[in-house]
Amino acid sequence: MTLEVRELDLYYGDAQALDKVSLSAAAGSVVAIVGANGAGKSSLIRAIAGIETPRAGSVRFKGEEITGLPSYRICDRGIGQVAEGRQVFPTLTVRENLEMGALLKRARPRLAATLEEVYALFPRLRERAGQAAGTLSGGEQQMLAIGRCLMGQPELVMLDEPSLGLAPTVVQEVFQIVRQLNERGITIVLVEQNVAASLKLAARAYVLENGRIVMQGTGAELLADDRVRQAYLGL
């Protein structure tokens, strides 16, 4: 398993956000996490990334324990993130934003080459290279967030609602890119409010409710499940 999360507990003060969450992602697979607003999806991603410190449980990446490591060390192991709300650096230029993704030890020596690859994947970013990231459209910022993540040469990418607030054609594009990344061998953890599309892509999927995993299966199984269809697909 590339990623193995076991019985993770996370608290904000006294409020419990994650309750014994366990999940795993096989190398090169797509794993979807589905859940209503406030279920704890972003908290789970931030806990795996080391931005929040879990109270109990463990996270293993490629067989190694990474629980409790600071976020920059976890990134350097090869776990990249496209965070909720994109989190670009608004006053830095597009190019500077991309460079910031490559300051990890694992990525820094290949910065120039990776930059070319990312520009090839997102020609739009090359056109806008000298522009402040804050002036980009929502879709462009999302491409920048994904490109910046790729600059770190991740083996696992966690995407938190990458299509939120984007025009339908851009949403298509985002899913297309996620598929492409996966075809390159990158393991994907995908949180999406676009549940049908993400389940179709996912080898394995988990349903999170109030900080607990309440259901899991293959993407196809959950897609066919009546409860999932009712609660998350509005069918």
Does residue 135 touch another protein according to CB under 8 A? no
Produce one character per residue of 83-94: b if its CB has 16 or more CB atoms within 10 Å, e if not. Answer: bbebebeeeebb
Stretch that binds Mg ion, among 11-19, 36-44, 60-68, 194-202 (CB under 5 A): 36-44
CA distance 19 to 11: 9
Q: Give the phi and the psi of residue 33 in degrees, each rounded to 5.
A: -120, 125
Instruction: CB nearer to another protein: give 108 or 212.
Output: 108
Nearest-approach distance from CB 153 to ligand ATP, in angstroms: 26
Q: Does 41 engage in binding with ligand ATP (CB under 6 A)?
A: yes
87 contact choice in Mg ion, ligand ATP, another protein, none (CB below 5 to 8 Å, kind-dependent): another protein
Q: Between residue 1 and residue 20, which ones bind another protein under the rule CB under 8 A?
A: none
CB of 85 to ligand ATP, least distance (A): 9
Contact between 57 and 211 (Cβ < 8 Å): no
Cβ 3 vs Cβ 80: under 8 Å: no
Q: Does residue 38 touch ligand ATP according to CB under 6 A? A: yes
- Please give the C-alpha separations between residue 120 and each of 31, 114, 116, in angstroms, as whole numbers: 26, 10, 6
DSSP 90-116: TTSBHHHHHHHTT-STTTGGGHHHHHH
Query: Is residue 35 part of the contact set for ligand ATP (CB under 6 A)?
Result: yes
Which of another protein, ligand ATP, Mg ion, none does 40 bind, CB closer than 5 to 8 A by kind? ligand ATP
Residue in the block written with tokens 């994650």 = 18
**17 contributes a contact to ligand ATP by CB under 6 A:** yes
**List of residues contacting Mg ion (CB under 5 A):** 42, 84
